[in-house]
């Protein structure tokens, strides 16, 4: 009798193990389908460089399974056109809300999907491609986390994104993709709560403090 009980137990454990393996495999397949940029999809990428990125931005990128593709967080280079310098401090450390994301191995359609997912999570993001929008350089996504105090140049970029323009000097309509009204609403609310004063004006002074991380 005792022996039977242990056999049944072993059987249960086996079935449990088997089904969790099947579930894990199914999960991987659905992740690959829903997140074609995820680490489960083979693609030779450089090591991630998320240093100095605002913590809530980073955790949101992890949730979107794209954190391993971050190629740039904070950058103190005085080079003209660098918008990744300090936006403020959080937990005593300098941060930026700007992040660059590798688009290696992704199709144009997948990049559009990624821009949409980023927007739905609270990022204003554009695909930068050599020769497009009067921009030159290696292809990547330039995104700005709207949920923290931003310096003036990034505030201007977020507002440009909300207007459907490219966030560059030309400030022309962005051709590659457009966010839905719902996505714009999400980014706008987040952005205003951290960057607009009580009288509905943009806070122009560089932030030295950011409120606690939101989601
Ligand atoms: Zn960038």
- Reported as a single tens digit per residue, the pLDDT across 110-122 is 999 999 999 999 9
- How far, in Å, from the CA of 36 to the mean position of ligand 1? 22
In contact, 151 and 86? CB cutoff 8 Å: yes
CA distance linking residue 161 with residue 129, whole number of Å? 16
Q: How many CB atoms lie within 10 A of CB 23?
A: 10
Average pLDDT over residues 18-46: 78
Which pLDDT belongs to residue 210? 40
Token pair listed for 136: 């030159």
Say which range, 6-10, 20-24, 61-65, 185-189, has the weakest mean pLDDT.
6-10
Query: Whose structure tokens read 């590798």?
Result: 102
Q: How confident is the model at residue 22 (pLDDT cuts 50, 70, 90)?
A: low
Q: How confident is the model at residue 18 (pLDDT cuts 50, 70, 90)?
A: low
Overall residue count recorded for the chain in this entry: 215
- How far, in Å, from the CA of 83 to the mean position of ligand 1? 7
Return the CA Rg of the chain. Answer: 21
pTM of the model: 0.83
Which pLDDT belongs to residue 202? 81
Strands 70-72 and 93-95: unpaired
Token pair listed for 106: 């992704």
In contact, 55 and 213? CB cutoff 8 Å: yes
| Strand intervals (E) in 45-148 | 70-72, 88-90, 93-95, 98-101, 123-128, 140-145
- How far, in Å, from the CA of 39 to the mean position of ligand 1? 21
Is 185 a residue whose pLDDT tops 80?
Answer: yes
- How far, in Å, from the CA of 197 to the mean position of ligand 1? 26
- How far, in Å, from the CA of 101 to the mean position of ligand 1? 8
Q: How confident is the model at residue 16 (pLDDT cuts 50, 70, 90)?
A: low
Angle between helical axes of 181-195 and 108-121 (0-180°, round to 10): 50
CA distance linking residue 190 with residue 204, whole number of Å? 17
Please list all protein residues whose beta carbon sits less than 5 angstroms from ligand 1, which is an ion. 100, 142
Is 203 a residue whose pLDDT tops 70?
Answer: yes
Q: How confident is the model at residue 36 (pLDDT cuts 50, 70, 90)?
A: very high
Tens digits of residue pLDDT in 65-86: 999 999 999 999 999 889 999 9
| Strand intervals (E) in the chain | 70-72, 88-90, 93-95, 98-101, 123-128, 140-145
- How far, in Å, from the CA of 202 to the mean position of ligand 1? 22
- How far, in Å, from the CA of 212 to the mean position of ligand 1? 24
- How far, in Å, from the CA of 34 to the mean position of ligand 1? 25
Query: What distance, in Å, lies between the first and last C-alpha atoms of the chain?
Result: 53
Is 129 a residue whose pLDDT tops 90?
Answer: yes
- How far, in Å, from the CA of 70 to the mean position of ligand 1? 10
Angle between helical axes of 181-195 and 152-162 (0-180°, round to 10): 160
Which pLDDT belongs to residue 213? 34
HSE, side-chain direction, 13 A CA sphere, residue 68: 14
């Amino acid at each position: 009798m005792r022996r039977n009980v242990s056999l049944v137990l072993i059987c249960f454990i086996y079935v449990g193990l088997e089904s969790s393996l099947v579930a894990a495999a199914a999960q991987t397949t659905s992740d690959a389908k829903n997140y074609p940029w995820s680490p489960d999809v083979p693609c030779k990428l450089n090591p991630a460089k998320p240093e100095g990125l605002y913590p809530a931005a980073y955790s949101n990128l992890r949730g979107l399974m794209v954190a391993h593709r971050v190629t740039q967080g904070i950058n103190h280079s005085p080079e003209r056109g660098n918008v990744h310098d300090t936006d403020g401090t959080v937990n005593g450390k300098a941060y930026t809300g700007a992040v660059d994301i590798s688009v290696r191995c992704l199709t144009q359609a997948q990049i559009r999907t990624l821009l949409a997912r980023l927007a739905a999570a609270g990022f204003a993001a554009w695909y930068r491609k050599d020769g497009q929008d009067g921009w030159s350089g290696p292809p990547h996504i330039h995104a700005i986390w709207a949920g923290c105090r931003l310096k003036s140049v990034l505030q201007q970029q977020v507002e440009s994104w909300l207007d459907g323009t490219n966030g560059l000097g030309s400030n022309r309509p962005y051709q590659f993709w457009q966010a839905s009204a719902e996505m714009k609403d999400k980014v706008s609310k987040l952005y205003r709560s951290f960057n607009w004063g009580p009288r509905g004006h943009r806070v122009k002074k560089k932030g030295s403090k950011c409120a606690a991380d939101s989601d």
